[in-house]
């Protein structure tokens, strides 16, 4: 009965978004309806991911959630790249990274900490994640420093080299964490949970939810620039917070649900794993994709964006390095996120 109501709501919101996209010309209505549809579709995606994680474990489940959840982010950014809105693309990448590290992880730690006094996860995994986050900072910081000494053409070449190296590093990390050293990075045994669907149905649900999110994400892009112009919001704020929050809705729902059920390891894997995937795979991939449209996108981020990413990374490393969390650490993460949001709004 509950599943019937849930899928009825998902279908209703999706149909409204489809109607707005195909049969109206009101761009704000199109944007709002598409955003609402993505959020409810993300709840479906999160439910499917949780079910898959029940059978595959938190590491594989977290990776699948990050991958399928970031599909929306990648598709939205692809169409922004196609339109030449590079600054908004970089802002959305920034927003996705800090949103996962501060908002998604913060909400998960807070909600899980209210129910459980302390939750623990694999400290070795936290250490490796910290090293990769520092790599992400370095890869984004170096081009911004050297751009003043390089010509635009050399900056683009440097961006391509860094993009290729980051993708290689990310692929090798997957091999390391899921093949050669998977036994060392297994999370602590979670509480028993019950999957709503069988293994086959869970995978099917995950695939269908991702396809729907991808389609509605394309509709969302059509109203983005009009939204920015209508409300006088900067591309930096729209990309870093509005688009990022909508695009990360899948991670929000899945990570918080896992934390409430005592599976903070899965929440950490989703939040930090998704940020790493954005920084080490999605962003470099967008740089390479832009080559096919004739106007290459560099990987040079603004001072505001770099400051936000560095702040998010270091507070996250500080909180997760001991392999244990409590509700107050969630408050700290959310506080930093709100401070950054206010700064980006007035920038």
CA proximity to 100, closest of 212, 303, 287, 241: 241
CA proximity to 34, closest of 96, 66, 79, 2: 79
107 by DSSP, 3-state: which? helix
CA distance 45 to 180: 29
DSSP 293: G
Q: What is the CATH number of the domain that holds 131?
A: 1.20.1420.30
- Provide the pLDDT for residue 14: 92
Range of the domain at 140: 2-346
For the CA atoms of 76, 334, 299, 35, what is the dihedral angle to 10 degrees?
10
Do the Cβ atoms of 252 and 42 come closer than 8 Å? yes
Residue 308: C-alpha distances to residues 29, 151, 241, 279, 302 (Å)? 31, 26, 12, 14, 10
- Provide the pLDDT for residue 310: 92
CA distance 301 to 306: 6
Tens of pLDDT along the chain (347 residues)? 577 788 888 899 999 999 998 898 888 888 889 888 988 887 787 778 778 767 776 667 667 766 776 766 777 788 788 877 888 888 888 888 898 899 889 999 999 999 888 888 877 777 888 888 888 888 888 888 877 777 878 888 888 999 999 999 989 988 888 778 766 665 544 445 566 788 788 888 888 887 887 788 778 766 666 777 777 777 678 777 877 777 666 667 778 878 888 888 878 888 888 888 888 898 899 999 988 887 888 888 888 889 999 999 999 988 888 888 899 999 999 999 999 988 888 87
- Count how many domains the chain has: 1
- Provide the pLDDT for residue 110: 93
The C-alpha angle with vertex 48 and arms to 66 and 106, in degrees rounded to 5, equals 50
Locate the DSSP E strands across 191-330: 324-325
Question: Any idea which residue has 């970031």 for tokens?
Answer: 70
- Provide the pLDDT for residue 189: 46
CA distance 36 to 42: 10
């Amino acid at each position: 009965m509950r599943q019937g109501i849930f899928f009825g709501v998902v279908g209703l919101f999706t149909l409204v978004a489809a109607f707005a996209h195909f049969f109206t010309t009101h761009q704000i209505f199109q944007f709002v309806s598409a955003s609402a549809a993505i959020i409810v579709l993300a709840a479906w995606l999160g439910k499917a991911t949780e079910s898959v994680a029940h059978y595959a474990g938190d590491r594989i489940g977290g990776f699948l959630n990050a991958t399928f959840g970031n599909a929306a982010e990648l598709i939205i950014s692809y169409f922004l790249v196609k339109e030449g809105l590079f600054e908004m693309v970089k802002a959305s990448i920034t927003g996705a990274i800090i949103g996962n590290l501060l908002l998604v992880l913060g909400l998960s730690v807070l909600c899980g900490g209210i129910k459980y006094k302390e939750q623990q996860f694999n400290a070795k995994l936290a250490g490796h994640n910290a090293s990769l986050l520092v790599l992400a900072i370095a890869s984004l910081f170096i081009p911004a420093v050297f751009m003043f000494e390089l010509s635009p053409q050399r900056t683009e070449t440097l961006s391509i080299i860094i993009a290729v190296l980051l993708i290689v590093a990310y692929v090798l990390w997957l091999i390391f964490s899921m093949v050669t050293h998977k036994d060392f990075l297994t999370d602590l045994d979670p509480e028993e949970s019950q999957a709503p669907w069988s293994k086959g149905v869970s995978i099917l649900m995950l695939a269908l939810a991702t396809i729907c999110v991808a389609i509605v994400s394309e509709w969302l892009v059509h109203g983005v620039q009009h939204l920015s112009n209508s409300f006088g919001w900067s591309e930096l704020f729209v990309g870093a917070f509005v688009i990022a929050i909508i695009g990360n809705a899948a991670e929000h729902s899945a990570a918080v649900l896992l934390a409430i059920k005592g599976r903070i390891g899965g929440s950490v894997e989703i939040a930090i794993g998704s940020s790493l995937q954005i920084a080490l795979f999605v962003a470099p991939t967008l740089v390479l994709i832009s080559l096919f449209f004739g106007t290459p996108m560099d990987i040079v981020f603004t001072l505001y964006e770099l400051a936000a990413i560095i702040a998010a990374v270091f507070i996250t490393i500080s909180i997760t390095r001991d392999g244990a969390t409590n509700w107050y650490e969630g408050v700290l993460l959310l506080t930093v996120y709100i401070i950054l949001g206010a700064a980006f709004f007035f920038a």
